[in-house]
């Protein structure tokens, strides 16, 4: 949101109170507090007829400083608020003639005591990170409406790049953009986002988390090109500065504060096939689709029933359409006998035709207007209301219907929607602020369903396929990218969204292979299959047509099978990376700058990614098969061909449909399993350790079991072309050395 006309002039509709100086300050055991008037205080009379900002700095956890800026304190506090895992560490303080400071771990905030010189400099290990300075911190009053806004802005250094803000489909580097953290259902081809997170990080060693689930607006090197400005309605602003020596450390600290992702079950990493959205289907159709996958020997782990498993106009009543599925329990039993897991579509909206609407209205389980009426709309489902997730009784009622499906044999839910949440004239059961609830609804909605699954299926077996989210929502995986289109352009914007959400603490992420809207040409389908199978989770899904490969030609069946088989064999590696995401908050899909900090060329790469720490993936986005990608320093081996390429350069290559740049980092031990038909198996049983371009020394590797526990630990000692394996801690394995483009089996 912009408040100025250029650098000097204010927009005429605003009155601004800028922090001009720290007039007085004090330290307590846990805080540094400063009174900052909006005018310089030269004499006693200057203390009259003007506003002040009270700035309080505390240390919620080590290497994080929390900044609270308040104009008026008289407002009644309203929720919701983001839950943070504060440890309330005791900071250290310093003071000299010109400054006073507070420090948490290595992170220090230094407040200027000079008159007419507002400044808070954030630094770590003696290095300046950023600063709130001249005309940076303020309260704005919109004179026509009386609406107040709180603002701060932090300087950007030369070459500093900004990333994150949730799942954004806009350019990957966010400099020059206006980012409104307001969840909306806008597809993937606009600045609107399903998953808005008021957190960003830069390539200069810090991140910023605005602790407000409401309408936070960011001007990212836009209103003031040398700063990131953030503003929100109200009289109070709280944000955290999070220091990390590396980008991974920033994410570790951010997710320690807001929550780390649960570990999805191993079976969920296999291939998912759906009915698609508006297609016509019944049990015979479903069986035909599954039989077709078996005919082409394409492994399938999960089958998903999309919206029309329920009767039209009845969403959601959680009843199988009796005209289409007369024997749902029997059908699910027959599918599960084929070792398939089952997912069904749902959302938190209750159509007026659904029997649940009357129940919800009578018992106060639906969001109400201020006059007590149920809020309703015809957008999406006719006359629909929305479950009030702030009401414990409503949550229990809603989950009771989901439990019946679990008892029938359903394994997980696609928790669709959660973005179209009204704000005007709304009253929640717990009195929550409707504006703050707009985004936070997605958190409570997905939390409600995820916790039901944990109760019914047990920890380690719970997972969602969720579309909406905000900060903290990463705890309830998996999330997918929403309604994309069947084109290379949309495939690329989908990846940009995946990169951005990875910067926002989401460890697991998926997308609709070949695009949701329209039907892809065969070349797009085949290229997207490779990209999709080299994502944490992989789902074939569309709108008006089935996404089974034989509809796109015989070669599509071959390509899909090859990449499904490859992913299954990579599961000893991929599931280790998944456990790491769960334990540390470092995502599976990693932007290049996350794995190669300080590499300037890597900082803007938006058409490639690291899958864990050892595999580089560059999807093909062009019909002629050409792909441009960047290899950081070192020797890289193409996993599929064995060719070795020297890094520190850009490459242009042409790949057929059976290949793409899938490069293994040097000094890597890549475990590959014996099973290529399922994602959940004994990963260490008969595993082959592929050792790529190793240096002399010791390499270590752990392989988890499907519960995420360490199952095998290997220590490899390399001396030239000789490799020995510590037999005391390792299960039996095969070892293959890859050096100079040659493959040498060693055992």
343 DSSP 8-state letter: E
Q: Of 232, 278, 249, 283, nearest to 71 (Cα)? A: 232
Task: Give CA separation, 332 vs 176, 310, 386, 404, 577, in Å.
Answer: 51, 15, 29, 13, 32
- Helix H, strand E, coil C: the string for 56-98 is EEECCCCCEEEEEEECCCCCCCCCCCCCCCCCCCCCEEEECCC
Task: Give CA separation, 14 vs 20, 73, 99, 144, in Å.
Answer: 17, 21, 32, 9
Q: How far apart are CA 91 and CA 101, in angstroms?
A: 10
Tokens found for residue 742: 């040659």
Catalytic residue check, 483: yes
Q: Which residues pair with 51 in a beta bridge?
A: none
Alpha helices, DSSP H only, in 345-479? 355-363, 392-408, 434-457
Q: Which residues pair with 15 in a beta bridge?
A: 141
Give the dihedral sign, CA 59/60/63/65: negative
User: 10 Å Cβ neighbour count for 517?
Assistant: 19
Point out the catalytic residue in the list 212, 306, 419, 580. Answer: 419
Q: How far apart are CA 415 and CA 467, in angstroms?
A: 7
Task: Give CA separation, 18 vs 3, 134, 220, in Å.
Answer: 12, 8, 20
Point out the catalytic residue in the list 240, 317, 416, 580. Answer: 416
516, 249 contact by CB (below 8 A): no
Catalytic residue check, 416: yes
Q: How far apart are CA 662 and CA 647, in angstroms?
A: 14
Label residues 462-480 b or e (16+ Cβ within 10 Å = b). bbbbbbbbbbbbbbbbbbb
Point out the catalytic residue in the list 185, 483, 676, 711. Answer: 483
User: 10 Å Cβ neighbour count for 184?
Assistant: 17
Q: How far apart are CA 508 and CA 498, in angstroms?
A: 9
Q: Of 153, 137, 147, 152, nearest to 235 (Cα)? A: 147
Which are the contacts of 407, defined by CB distance < 8 A and separation ≥ 6? none
Catalytically annotated residues = 416, 419, 483
């Amino acid at each position: 949101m912009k408040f100025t006309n250029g650098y000097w002039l204010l927009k005429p509709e605003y009155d601004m109170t800028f922090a001009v100086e720290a007039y007085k300050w004090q330290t307590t055991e846990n805080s540094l507090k400063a009174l900052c008037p909006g005018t310089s205080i030269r004499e006693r009379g200057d203390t009259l007829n003007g506003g002040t900002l009270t700035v309080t700095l505390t240390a919620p956890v080590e290497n994080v400083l929390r900044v609270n800026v308040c104009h008026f304190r008289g407002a009644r506090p309203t929720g919701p608020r983001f839950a943070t895992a504060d440890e309330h560490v005791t900071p250290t303080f310093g003071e000299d003639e010109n400054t006073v400071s507070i420090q948490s771990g290595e992170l220090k905030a230094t407040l200027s005591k000079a008159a007419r010189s507002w400044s808070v400099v954030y630094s770590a290990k003696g290095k300046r990170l950023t600063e709130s300075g001249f005309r940076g911190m303020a309260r704005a009053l919109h004179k026509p409406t009386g609406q107040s806004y709180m603002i701060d802005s932090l300087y950007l250094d030369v070459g500093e790049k900004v990333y994150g803000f949730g799942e954004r489909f806009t350019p990957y580097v966010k400099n020059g953009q206006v980012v409104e953290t307001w969840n909306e259902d806008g597809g993937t081809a606009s600045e609107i986002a399903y998953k808005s997170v008021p957190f960003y990080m830069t390539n200069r060693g810090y991140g910023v988390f605005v602790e407000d689930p409401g309408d936070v607006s960011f001007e990212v090197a836009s209103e003031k090109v040398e700063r990131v400005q953030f503003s929100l309605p109200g009289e109070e602003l709280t944000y955290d500065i999070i220091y990390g020596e590396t980008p991974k450390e920033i994410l570790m600290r951010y997710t320690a504060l807001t929550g780390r992702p649960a570990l999805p079950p191993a079976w969920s990493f296999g291939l998912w096939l759906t009915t698609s959205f508006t297609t016509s289907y019944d049990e015979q159709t479903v069986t035909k689709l599954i039989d077709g996958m078996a005919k082409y020997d394409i492994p399938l782990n999960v089958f998903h029933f999309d919206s029309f498993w329920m009767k039209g106009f009845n969403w959601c009543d959680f009843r199988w359409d009796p005209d289409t599925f007369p024997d749902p329990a029997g059908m699910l039993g027959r599918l599960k006998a084929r070792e398939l897991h089952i997912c069904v579509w749902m959302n938190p909206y209750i159509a007026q035709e659904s029997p649940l609407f009357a129940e919800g209205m009578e018992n106060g389980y639906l969001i109400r207007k201020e006059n007590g009426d149920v809020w309703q709309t015809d957008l999406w489902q006719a006359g629909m209301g929305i479950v009030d997730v702030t009401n414990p009784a409503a949550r229990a009622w809603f989950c009771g219907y989901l439990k019946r499906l679990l008892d029938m044999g359903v394994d997980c839910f696609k928790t669709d929607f959660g973005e179209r949440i009204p704000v005007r004239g709304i009253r929640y059961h717990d009195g929550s602020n409707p504006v703050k609830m707009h985004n936070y609804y997605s958190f409570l909605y997905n939390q409600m369903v995820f916790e039901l699954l944990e109760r019914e299926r047990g920890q380690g077996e719970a997972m969602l396929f969720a579309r909406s989210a905000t900060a903290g929502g990463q705890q309830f995986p998996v999330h997918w990218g929403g309604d994309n289109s069947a084109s290379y352009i949309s495939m690329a914007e989908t990846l940009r969204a995946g990169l951005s959400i990875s910067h926002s603490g989401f460890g697991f992420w998926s997308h609709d292979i070949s695009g949701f809207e329209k039907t892809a040409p065969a070349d797009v389908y085949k290229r997207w299959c490779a990209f999709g199978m080299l994502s944490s989770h992989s789902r074939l899904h569309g709108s008006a047509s089935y996404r089974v490969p034989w509809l796109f030609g015989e070669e599509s069946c071959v390509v899909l099978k090859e990449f499904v088989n490859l992913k299954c064999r990579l599961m000893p590696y991929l599931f280790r990376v998944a456990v790491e995401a769960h334990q540390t908050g470092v995502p599976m899909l990693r932007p290049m700058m996350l794995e190669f900090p300080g590499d300037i060329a890597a900082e803007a790469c938006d058409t490639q990614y690291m899958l864990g720490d050892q595999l580089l993936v560059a999807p093909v986005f062009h019909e002629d098969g050409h792909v441009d990608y960047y290899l950081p320093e070192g020797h890289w081996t193409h996993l599929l061909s064995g060719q070795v390429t020297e890094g520190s350069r850009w490459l242009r290559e042409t790949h057929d449909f059976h290949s793409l740049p899938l490069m293994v980092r040097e000094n890597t031990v890549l475990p590959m399993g014996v099973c290529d038909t399922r994602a959940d198996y004994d990963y260490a049983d008969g595993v082959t350790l592929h050792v790529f371009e190793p240096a002399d020394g010791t390499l270590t590797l752990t392989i988890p079991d499907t519960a995420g526990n360490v199952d095998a630990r290997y220590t490899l000692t390399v001396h030239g072309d000789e490799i020995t394996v510590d037999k005391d801690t390792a299960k039996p394995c095969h070892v293959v050395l890859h050096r100079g483009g040659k493959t040498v089996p060693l055992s």
